[in-house]
Amino acid sequence: MANSSSGPTHIAARHPRRYPDGHGDEDGGSPGFKIQSYLKERAEFVERALDRAVINHGGPGARLLEAMRYSLFAGGKRLRPILALAACEAVGGAPDDAIGLACALEMIHTYSLIHDDLPCMDDDDLRRGRPTNHKVYGDAMATLAGDALLTDAFNVLARSRSSRAPAAVVLDVVAELAQAAGSPGMVIGQALDILSEGKATDLATLEYLHARKTGALFLAAVRGGGLLGGANSVQLEALTSYGRSIGLAFQVVDDVLDVEASAEQMGKRTHKDDAQGKATYPGLMGVARSRQFAHELKQRAIEALAGFDGRAQPLREIANFVVERSL
């Protein structure tokens, strides 16, 4: 499904598309673009799809499905799935082309949060403003809920019927997602994070760690969405650069919020990085320089989209949102 009509400098979208509820004009790039209503509408779109993808049919499996749905519908921002949809649309695809990937990303992200909160990892009681999964369902059921969300995510992606992408493209996206979630990506990032506690860590090591722990899933969202939307190689390269910058910017801001925000604001325990002896951006470069670095990364992300038309406006606005967010 490669878009061979695009030249190397101008990256045209495949189908002109009008946003459904006034987020922008025909090419999505009006100055009146409303990021908050865009995020809300896209989050609802993802949540309806998740509701159909992870069903509690009752019976013997009801408790496990209840635990999975407890964390899945606990009010996350749905950033990764929204990025996948936005990247897909930026290259001319439709939201339905990437909705299977969007659900899979949120399921994997939710699994990572459930496992990260377990007593054997970060041992947290609060997540998304509610008691953590193991506090409600116990350690064993929380572990299994995470296992099931991770595994089922690939089933949801592989079986998504709404995507027009050829099977070979879906296979590529499955492989990229597995790489992002597995030992080369999020899991090694988490392992390095644990192993580096209390140890002197420099900026290069911190970036290496975060590119895997949190960045890999952002990159898979943007690249996967692009692939499913029919991105050509030039578009994919630009999306890769955008995805890397936005993933790191997200983490830098996360570190700053851990220092500056309250638990009430974030819906999770804050000020814990320092307490756990973890290296952070504010710890290594100070809060002001960290904020400045996040802005530079945002600029880098937006510049990577220079060859895209107005249909990439949501991606540009999301870059801004990631850096300005207070949650």
Q: Which residues bind ligand GRG (CB under 6 A)?
A: 76-77, 79, 109, 112-113, 115-116, 128, 186-187, 190, 213-214, 254
Residue with tokens 């969007």: 102
Run of H or E residues at 127: strand 126-127
**The tokens of 313 are what?**
């406006």
d(CA 64, CA 112) in angstroms, rounded, equals: 16
User: Nearest approach, Cβ of 193 to ligand GRG (angstroms)?
Assistant: 7
- Based on CB atoms, which residue is closest to ligand GRG, 57 or 264? 264
- Based on CB atoms, which residue is closest to ligand GRG, 170 or 322? 322
- Based on CB atoms, which residue is closest to ligand GRG, 79 or 153? 79
> Could you tell me the CA-to-CA distances from 29 to 16, 180, 218 in Å, in that order?
12, 31, 23
Burial status of residue 219 (CB atoms within 10 A of its CB: 0-12, 13-18, 19 or more) = buried
User: Nearest approach, Cβ of 29 to ligand GRG (angstroms)?
Assistant: 26
Could you tell me where the DSSP H helices lie in the chain?
35-53, 62-72, 79-90, 95-117, 133-137, 139-158, 167-181, 186-195, 203-213, 215-228, 233-260, 263-266, 272-275, 281-285, 287-304, 313-324
User: Nearest approach, Cβ of 50 to ligand GRG (angstroms)?
Assistant: 12
User: Nearest approach, Cβ of 127 to ligand GRG (angstroms)?
Assistant: 7
- Based on CB atoms, which residue is closest to ligand GRG, 71 or 160? 71
d(CA 281, CA 253) in angstroms, rounded, equals: 9
- Based on CB atoms, which residue is closest to ligand GRG, 213 or 311? 213
User: Nearest approach, Cβ of 255 to ligand GRG (angstroms)?
Assistant: 8
User: Nearest approach, Cβ of 24 to ligand GRG (angstroms)?
Assistant: 24
d(CA 15, CA 5) in angstroms, rounded, equals: 12
- Based on CB atoms, which residue is closest to ligand GRG, 80 or 311? 80
If one counts every other C-beta atom within 10 angstroms of the C-beta of residue 68, the result is 28
d(CA 275, CA 181) in angstroms, rounded, equals: 27
